[in-house]
Copies of this chain bind each other. A is one copy, B any other.
């Protein structure tokens, strides 16, 4: 049975806090109106959030002829959250207040080859220590630390099951981290971090079924369906990057051929460039970031090779996104992560046109395709949001089960 009353209460708690963060101050009456919940239910949920000090009473507003209505607002300084983005070449760590404003940020570069679990954990621990010290200065207790790591993860056991770029297999990442970090830890991957960031703070807020397409070194799709994240039976849903687009096409490190990722991940785009113009000065061998930036500048300058490569790439992305549109019929598709941000508007226009050519007319007409509006690292924001959700999930479990994982590693 999927729909336990505890699941529903947790989903409603998320929804109420999401609205308060989006629109502070607000009244219980307004919350009831936007969420469709009864006033009594809203009052109970608001009471829980007040008790957690995640929101505060901030006065009253007049209601036409009736009693003045109590107003609540997010209690930004009621606690802090930490989001960790472990990527192929860097670790980003950000400290947030409860309104999810960035208070502090630390970046650690990973040198090529520096990807043994102990090395990565050392960088994460140092960076978390650094920003957590700033939390202490700001007077805010750290409610939790969300950690995003690429690949397939088991969020219940805290194990990084498979990270293809590093050949990690079953790394007990949260146990390793808990030897250094004394706050509740929450593990997930960047696909779901970006999706939850869009749901809470980005383009998907208040919208229906949404697919968040991550375009970075690797690519994938976070699936926000039916009001929550679709995770699948073993928490690995969203591997759009490893769906076949060109049967018997380019070899992929996953062992398959013709995967979407081999054409539209940053290394795939470099290959598209090499195929279009082997000697292009836009190509910076061994530097994905510089190549994508050179392509973006080339498009802005009207360089025909850059324009052609972005169009070729958009055609692959568009055919792959059309598959998502035909299969899932989403209301919204969001292009996220660093390749989408750097190639921006020109890429978006080409992708929309390519999706139109490949998708069925009616689902295409029902789908809006946009760039992520989140200005900071969406993975850090989403990871911190997992920590926020973990705190909200723990309400009502406080006399017994401990929320999240703690330094002891116990559950």
Contacts and interface: CB of A to CB of B under 8 A. Distances in A.
A327 interface: yes
Contacts of A232: 209, 328-330, 363, 366
A242 B36 contact: no
A329 B236 CA distance: 6
Contact of A236 (B3, B226, B254, B362): B362
Identical subunits present: 2
B233 A330 contact: yes
A357 B254 CA distance: 10
A225 interface: yes
Contacts of A327: 221, 223, 237-240, 243, 324, 327
Interface stretch (A4-12, A141-149, A264-272, A379-387): A4-12
Contacts of A367: 233
Interface in A128-143: none
Contacts of A230: 209, 225-226, 328
B235 A329 contact: yes
Interface size class on chain A is 35 or more
Nearest to A8: B3
A309 interface: no
A161 interface: yes
A40 to B, nearest CB: 12
Contacts of A245: 244-245, 247
A9 to B, nearest CB: 10
A147 B250 CA distance: 44
A11 B3 CA distance: 8
Interface string A342-374: 000000000000000111111100110000000
A123 B187 CA distance: 57
Nearest to A161: B362
A256 B237 CA distance: 26
A246 B245 CA distance: 6
A37 B232 CA distance: 23
Contact of A323 (B4, B162, B235, B243): B243
B360 A236 contact: yes
A2 interface: yes
Contacts of A1: 15, 34-37, 227
A208 interface: yes
A175 interface: no
Contact of A244 (B15, B235, B358, B361): B358
B243 A326 contact: yes
B247 A329 contact: no
A97 interface: no
Interface string A82-98: 00000000000000000
Interface string A260-281: 0000000000000000000000
Nearest to A256: B358
A234 interface: yes
Q: Considering the complex of A and B, which 9 residue pairs feature the smallest CB-CB distances, nearest first?
A: A232-B329, A2-B227, A1-B36, A243-B323, A239-B326, A237-B329, A233-B331, A234-B366, A246-B247
Interface of A: 1-4, 8, 11-12, 15, 34-37, 152, 161-162, 208-209, 221, 223, 225-228, 230-240, 242-247, 249, 254, 256, 316, 319-320, 322-324, 326-331, 357-363, 366-367
Given A1-B36, A232-B329, A237-B329, 19 more contacts: A4-B36, A152-B362, A225-B226, A226-B228, A230-B328, A233-B329, A233-B366, A235-B329, A236-B363, A239-B326, A239-B329, A243-B323, A243-B326, A245-B247, A246-B246, A247-B319, A256-B357, A324-B327, A327-B327
8 contacts: A2-B226, A161-B362, A225-B225, A225-B230, A226-B226, A235-B329, A240-B326, A242-B360
